[in-house]
Chains A and B, each alone.
Chain A
Amino acid sequence: MRAAQVRMTDALLRSLGGRTVLLHIPAQAIPGDIGEQLGLALPLFQDVPIGPAVLRKVRPRIATAATERPAECELLLSASAVAKIVGSLDYQSADVLFANASGVLVDGELLEITSATSVEGFGSAYLYRLGLRASAADLV
């Protein structure tokens, strides 16, 4: 039943466009380097392709405070693709993966991850929903 849910979600995502996006993840730090600990070293990043994914614009139903920037779009991600990355990059869980990621590259634009939630059935996730917005550093 669990595998059927995942397969059905993947098929649904593909039927809706099913594109591939890049997860922008920091590479491993240099062990014992004080420059890394003091924020002096330029961190390296790796862009990991992940898909099928569907990106859609969202409009907040309730206006938020001026200081709070709401998510601008939502990314629906296949849980099977996320599980492969979590396993191959040795992350403890999808939550840790998304917490460590610096953002998602969509058509060359880096978007910040504002939230990550999973949709579960029969005790396992079959879809991840990421809230995304333009990176604060890119806003003029």
Chain B
Amino acid sequence: MLNIQLAKDTFYATLRDRVAAGNAARTVVLRGTVRPGVVVAENELPGAAVDGISPADAFCLRWTGLSIDTQGPLPLIALGCEIRYATDGTSGMAGMDRGRALAAMDAELTAAISQAPQSACSMLVAEVAGGGASTEAMTGTNVFWGDVSFKAAVMNNERMERTAEVEVFSYGQ
């Protein structure tokens, strides 16, 4: 059976680690816990207001398109990933630095996605029965992705928002 979720989870974990390595201060508080500032909207509670760009200064991932090419020896999964982010700038600067803050986020995202190699060994995460920390195991396949493309920045009152897109690929098992 095709495991599309492997590609989603692996890309998220790789992007999260790379963003955290590039800027350790890029964090977000969700359900009372500080996490690296990369969030997958569909993995959070529906009412958690993370869908889209509600938490400022963090990258919100949304999985959009899906296509599967079954002509090869292994099916090739192609997933569209939309990364939305926004910033109000800093209160100390009265928000006048929001353009610079958005440019910094653009640069961090570009560095994280374009950093070689643009691939990672796919990761299988399992939840331990009865609670507790989850376990991670590497599988034999790779997840790889293309370059990031950016849409125009949008002004929403005092908030600056941008959406970036990247296509993620994986061979099904």
Contact = CB atoms under 8 A, between A and B. Distances in A.
A40 B47 contact: no
Interface of A: 26-43, 99-103, 112-113
Contacts of A31: 33-35
Given A28-B31, A29-B33, A30-B33, A103 B47 contact: yes
B49 A99 contact: yes
Given A26-B48, A36-B33, A38-B9, 11 more contacts: A26-B31, A26-B45, A30-B133, A31-B34, A33-B133, A37-B43, A39-B42, A40-B126, A99-B49, A100-B49, A102-B46
A38 B40 contact: yes
B26 interface: no
Nearest to A99: B49
Given A26-B31, A28-B33, A29-B31, A35 B133 contact: yes
Nearest to B36: A37
Interface string B12-40: 11001000000000000011111100011
A42 B128 CA distance: 11
A35 B125 contact: yes
